[in-house]
Structure 1
Amino acid sequence: MAGVYVNGRTVTYADTGGDGPAVVLGHGFFLDHTAFAAQARALAPRWRVVAWDARGHGGTADDGVPFTYWDHARDVLGLMDALGIERAAVGGVSQGGFTALRAALLAPERVSALLLFDTEAQACDPHDKVGYAQMFAALAESGPVDELIGPLAAQIIGDGPLAETWRVHWRHSALPLGAPATCLLERDDVTGRLGEIACPALLVWGENDRSLPRDRMDLLRDGLPAATPVHVVPGAAHTPPLTHPGEVNRILVEFLSGLLPRRTA
Structure 2
Amino acid sequence: MASTQTIQVPHLDATVGYEVSNGKLDAAKPTLVLVNPFCATAEYYRAQLDDAALGARMNLLAIEPLGHGATACAADHFTYWDSALVALQAMQALGVSKAYALGVSQGGWVVARMALLAPERILGLVTIATSMDCESADSRTKGCWDPAAFVTPFVQSWSSSTPTHDFVVGDDWIQPVLGLALGSASTPAIAEFWSKSIQRVYAGDHGRRKLRMATINVAERDGLLLRIGDIKCPVHWYQGTADPIFGTTVPQEQIKLFTGSKEAKLSFIEDGVHFLSVSHPKEIQEAILEMVH
Report the equivalent of 2:290.
254
Asked if structure 1 preserves the Cα contact closer than 8 Å seen for 2:258 and 2:264, the reply is no
Report the equivalent of 1:263.
none
Report the equivalent of 1:199.
233
Q: Post-superposition shift, 1:215?
A: 2.1
Q: Cα gap change, 1:148/1:183 in structure 2, threshold over 3 Å: closer, same or farther?
A: closer
Report the equivalent of 1:232.
268
> Which is further off, 38-47 or 189-198?
38-47
1:5 is aligned to 2:8? yes
Q: Cα gap change, 1:162/1:244 in structure 2, threshold over 3 Å: closer, same or farther?
A: farther
Residue from 39, 42, 47 that aligns with 1:33? 42
Asked if structure 1 preserves the Cα contact closer than 8 Å seen for 2:108 and 2:130, the reply is yes
Residue from 135, 143, 165 that aligns with 2:193? 165
Q: What is the DSSP-based 3-state SS (H/G/I as helix, E as strand, rest coil) of the residue aligned with 1:115? A: strand
1:132 is aligned to 2:151? yes
Asked if structure 1 preserves the Cα contact closer than 8 Å seen for 2:45 and 2:62, the reply is yes
> Which is further off, 215-224 or 89-98?
215-224
1:156 is aligned to 2:156? no
Asked if structure 2 preserves the Cα contact closer than 8 Å seen for 1:62 and 1:179, the reply is no
1:244 is aligned to 2:280? yes
Q: Which amino acid aligns with 1:46?
A: R
Q: Post-superposition shift, 1:172?
A: 3.6
- 1:180 and 1:219 map into 2 onto residues whose CA distance is 27
1:1-265 matches, within 5 Å, as: 1-6=4-9, 7=11, 8-16=13-21, 17-18=25-26, 19-42=28-51, 43-61=54-72, 63-125=74-136, 127-137=146-156, 143-158=168-183, 159-160=186-187, 161-174=189-202, 176-225=210-259, 226=261, 227-256=263-292, 260=293
- 2:37 and 2:243 map into 1 onto residues whose CA distance is 13
> Which is further off, 108-117 or 181-190?
181-190
Q: Post-superposition shift, 1:171?
A: 3.5
Alpha-carbon displacement from aligned partner over 1:192-224 (angstroms, at most 9, x marks no partner): 111111110110112221112222222331111
Q: Post-superposition shift, 1:76?
A: 1.2
Q: Which runs of 5+ in 1 are unaligned?
A: 261-265
Q: What is the DSSP-based 3-state SS (H/G/I as helix, E as strand, rest coil) of the residue aligned with 2:236? A: strand
Alpha-carbon displacement from aligned partner over 1:75-122 (angstroms, at most 9, x marks no partner): 111011101111111121111111111111111001100110111211
Asked if structure 1 preserves the Cα contact closer than 8 Å seen for 2:40 and 2:198, the reply is no
- 1:79 and 1:214 map into 2 onto residues whose CA distance is 33
- 1:70 and 1:148 map into 2 onto residues whose CA distance is 26
Q: Percent identity?
A: 27
- 2:102 and 2:135 map into 1 onto residues whose CA distance is 19
> Which is further off, 195-204 or 243-252?
243-252
Q: Cα gap change, 1:148/1:4 in structure 2, threshold over 3 Å: closer, same or farther?
A: closer
Q: Post-superposition shift, 1:237?
A: 1.6
Q: Which amino acid aligns with 1:24?
A: V
Q: Cα gap change, 1:184/1:146 in structure 2, threshold over 3 Å: closer, same or farther?
A: closer
Q: Which runs of 5+ in 2 are unaligned?
A: 138-145, 161-166
TM-align CA RMSD: 2.2
Q: Cα gap change, 1:254/1:14 in structure 2, threshold over 3 Å: closer, same or farther?
A: same
Asked if structure 1 preserves the Cα contact closer than 8 Å seen for 2:147 and 2:218, the reply is no
Q: What is the DSSP-based 3-state SS (H/G/I as helix, E as strand, rest coil) of the residue aligned with 1:191? A: coil
Q: What TM-score do you get using the length of structure 2 for normalisation?
A: 0.80
- 1:115 and 1:199 map into 2 onto residues whose CA distance is 11
Aligned length: 257
- 2:73 and 2:179 map into 1 onto residues whose CA distance is 25
Asked if structure 2 preserves the Cα contact closer than 8 Å seen for 1:27 and 1:35, the reply is yes
Q: What TM-score do you get using the length of structure 1 for normalisation?
A: 0.88
